[in-house]
Amino acid sequence: SSELTQPPSVSVAPGQTATITCSGDALPEENTYWFQQRPGQAPVLLIYKDTQRPSGIPERFSGSISGTTATLTISGVQAEDEADYYCQSADSSSTYRVFGGGTKLTAL
């Protein structure tokens, strides 16, 4: 299966740590990417190849992988981090791409 499962929502107090999970059968073999999307804007790549951070992305964003679950961790959540977050990977043949359903992060 190439489906990716994310929790619909995550809430965290400002300054605390948020974790967003992404589960999929192909994740042990395929790279996971994470995107942030603010309302009315195009997605922005936060993490590539499971754990790597593009230049310009703050260090408080980090990625990890364990078996069939990838995790995006946001340390010291700020109000500006309120957004939708999507994981993305590929099917086991690396032919198709797939997005998770998205997680809405709320900073309480």
Residues that bind another protein (CB under 8 A): 31, 33, 35, 37, 42-45, 48-49, 52, 54, 84, 86, 88, 95-102
Residue 26: CB minimum distance to another protein, A: 14
Closer to another protein by Cβ: residue 60 or 104: 104
CA distance 107 to 18: 9
CA distances 65 to 40, 43, 90, Å, are: 30, 22, 15
**Per DSSP, what are the bridge partners of residue 18?**
74
- Three-state SS for 8? coil
Q: Which is nearer to another protein, 31 or 69 (CB)?
A: 31
76 vs 99, which CB is nearer to another protein? Answer: 99
